[in-house]
Amino acid sequence: MTPVLSVHELSKRFGSGKQQALAVSEVSFDLPAGGSLGIVGESGSGKSTTARMIIGLERPTSGTIRFRGEDRTAPARRTKDLRRRGREIQIVFQDPYTSLDRRQRIVDCLAEVVRIHAGSDTREVRRRVDELAALVGLDDRQLGALPSRLSGGQRQRVAIARALAAEPEVLILDEAVSALDVSIQAQILNLLADIRAQRGISYLFISHDLAVVRQITDDTIVMRHGTVVEQGPTAQVLDQPVHPYTRLLRDSVPTPGWDPMSTSGPRS
């Protein structure tokens, strides 16, 4: 079966001449339809640059990006192609507040995306907005609010709803829960699991949090200095890591009872 998303030897260099910096080097992976793939690594490992190339915000230096077998490496040049690609792959960033119009009510924010991708019939747009709101757990009061009146978790629900408004087949989540409190983070992860089960959407989940990756993904790739150092089923990668860097990431996760203010190690 053809993967919904296939990345082959993707590389990205910034700068020119002797000032070039290799941010991503020959990254390859496949994302099956309905699958969930995690990309983990520390800051600067190339995770977000990889995501930005897939979504079209950065142009690869080399390599290929295919969606259902069709080449998507080169940027779209026509409006209809841009819209079609927007319906294929969407992204949710770490801080939704910076990507929301602070003067626009949430209902108008969602309706705007629905109109772009599904037409301008007023009743159908409102029906679709209400459907999206119910899907992510937003009530009428929150739909009528400005972003500044919502909590971080509620704004992230709005960002997810806005991404889903395009009815994408792939949703990229770039550190999408890392800024949330643990309890709100759990709610968003459960929401994402439910949406995946209901819609069959595929996730590309980028995170430095191994516990989050374990909960939400089937397979994982580990990146360091722009290269993939390990990949495989998530449980295998996290429980039986082969590469020393993966073991270092796993061992750096605090254990229950660990006191960050103490130098004596975990408490009994």
Question: Across residues 191-212, what is the average pLDDT?
Answer: 92
Confidence at residue 228, expressed as pLDDT on a 0 to 100 scale: 97
Domain membership flag for residue 94: yes
Q: How confident is the model at residue 254 (pLDDT cuts 50, 70, 90)?
A: low
Domain of residue 17: give its range. Answer: 5-248
Domain membership flag for residue 255: no
Please give the structure tokens belonging to residue 191.
């929401």
Predicted confidence (pLDDT) per residue in 83-121, tens digit: 888 889 999 988 877 878 899 999 999 999 999 887 778
Predicted confidence (pLDDT) per residue in 180-193, tens digit: 888 888 888 999 99
Residue 266 has pLDDT above 50, yes or no: no
Q: How confident is the model at residue 265 (pLDDT cuts 50, 70, 90)?
A: very low
How far apart (Å, rounded) are the C-alpha atoms in residues 207 and 193?
A: 16
Q: What is the pTM (predicted TM-score) of this model?
A: 0.89
How far apart (Å, rounded) are the C-alpha atoms in residues 152 and 67?
A: 32
Domain membership flag for residue 258: no
User: Looking at the 3D structure of the chain, how many domains does it have?
Assistant: 1
Domain membership flag for residue 157: yes
Domain membership flag for residue 256: no
Question: Across residues 130-146, what is the average pLDDT?
Answer: 94
Domain membership flag for residue 176: yes
Predicted confidence (pLDDT) per residue in 17-51, tens digit: 778 899 999 999 999 999 999 999 988 899 999 99
How far apart (Å, rounded) are the C-alpha atoms in residues 129 and 116?
A: 13
Coil, strand or helix: which one is 47?
helix
> What Cα–Cα distance (Å) separates residue 232 from each residue in 5, 14, 187, 241?
16, 29, 27, 10
Q: How confident is the model at residue 263 (pLDDT cuts 50, 70, 90)?
A: very low
Confidence at residue 177, expressed as pLDDT on a 0 to 100 scale: 86
Predicted confidence (pLDDT) per residue in 75-91, tens digit: 878 878 888 888 899 99
For strand 5-14 and strand 89-92, is the pairing parallel, antiparallel, or unpaired?
Answer: unpaired
Beta-carbon contacts of residue 160 (< 8 Å; ≥ 6 apart): 92, 136, 171, 176, 188, 191, 192, 195
Whichever domain contains 108, its CATH number is 3.40.50.300
DSSP assigned state of 175: S
Confidence at residue 255, expressed as pLDDT on a 0 to 100 scale: 57
Confidence at residue 165, expressed as pLDDT on a 0 to 100 scale: 92
Backbone angles phi, psi at 98, to 5 degrees: -75, -20
Confidence at residue 264, expressed as pLDDT on a 0 to 100 scale: 42
How far apart (Å, rounded) are the C-alpha atoms in residues 120 and 142?
A: 23
Domain membership flag for residue 257: no
**Contact between 231 and 222 (Cβ < 8 Å):** yes
Beta-carbon contacts of residue 201 (< 8 Å; ≥ 6 apart): 34, 164, 168, 169, 170, 171, 195
Domain membership flag for residue 265: no
